[in-house]
């Protein structure tokens, strides 16, 4: 939900999704082609500054959203520091440090490219772009349903927490643990009931397997795509020049 909140508050909310996707794809390709740490660091800085300064994504939100994948990346890099010797015994080794450095920087660059796209583009705009790219309708509907169920789950959780708090369900640690257990046991039932209500509402509106949204209009789409292509060419030039 923090991602969607940042996307709707972004300065680039009304920029054509095709332009933002083009810039992100160029960043991913450039990150894959770049070899040296300096080139990868330059790409990371360019992608992050674009999101933070140009799109005006709040730094706190950017960090909060990036922390989970960064934690996974850190754990992956730490596991690469352990390796077997000639006797098959595992121990701490620094032989993989160059590989770890390259992998970490490349992953950070690709993460920055993806964050720049999702933190500036609301999901309905992304769905419209994917539909234009001939993405299967079943996949798009599954994305919408999963997206909607996140809000249903959050609403059910907040309402249950409010009700338990009003009944002094969290007045001490013992009661808090008991209330949390009861809440976890009831969440599946509540979400199931609300999902059934959503299905009933969709059937009442003659749902035929395809969810439609009002199309957004982008008067400056061509201009924005040209700017995105030029910026992407700069990143690709950095990566290709570094590779050569």
**Are 98 and 189 within one domain?**
no
Q: How confident is the model at residue 88 (pLDDT cuts 50, 70, 90)?
A: low
pLDDT of residue 78: 86
**Are 148 and 185 within one domain?**
yes
**Are 173 and 61 within one domain?**
no
Q: Residue 166: which domain range?
A: 135-204
- CA-to-CA dists, residue 155 to 4, 152, 162, 181, 194, angstroms: 16, 5, 11, 18, 10
Each residue's pLDDT tens digit, 162-203 = 888 888 888 888 888 888 888 877 777 777 777 777 778 777
**Are 222 and 108 within one domain?**
yes
**Are 120 and 148 within one domain?**
no
| R_g over Cα of the chain | 23
**Are 154 and 74 within one domain?**
no
The alpha carbon of residue 131 and the mean position of all alpha carbons in its chain are separated, in whole angstroms, by 19
């Amino acid at each position: 939900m923090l991602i969607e909140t940042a996307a709707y508050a972004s300065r680039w909310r009304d920029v054509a999704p095709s332009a933002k996707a083009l810039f992100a794809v160029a960043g991913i390709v450039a990150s894959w082609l770049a070899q040296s740490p300096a080139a990868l660091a330059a790409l990371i800085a360019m992608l992050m500054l674009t999101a933070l300064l140009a799109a005006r994504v709040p730094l706190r939100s950017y960090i909060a959203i990036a922390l989970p994948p960064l934690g996974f990346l850190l754990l992956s890099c730490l596991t690469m520091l352990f390796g077997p010797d000639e006797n098959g015994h595992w121990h701490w080794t620094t032989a993989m440090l160059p590989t770890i450095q390259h992998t970490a920087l490349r992953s950070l660059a690709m993460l920055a490219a993806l964050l720049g796209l999702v933190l500036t583009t609301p999901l309905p705009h992304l769905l419209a772009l994917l539909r234009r790219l001939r993405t299967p309708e079943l996949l798009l509907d599954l994305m919408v349903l999963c997206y909607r169920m996140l809000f249903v789950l959050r609403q059910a959780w907040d309402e249950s927490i409010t009700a338990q708090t009003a009944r002094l369900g969290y007045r001490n640690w013992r009661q808090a643990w008991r209330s949390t257990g009861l809440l976890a046991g009831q969440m599946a039932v509540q979400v199931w009931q609300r999902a059934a209500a959503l299905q009933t509402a969709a059937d009442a509106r003659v749902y035929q397997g395809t969810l439609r949204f009002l199309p957004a209009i982008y008067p400056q789409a061509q201009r924005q795509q040209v700017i995105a292509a030029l910026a992407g060419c700069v990143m690709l030039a950095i990566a290709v020049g570094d590779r050569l």
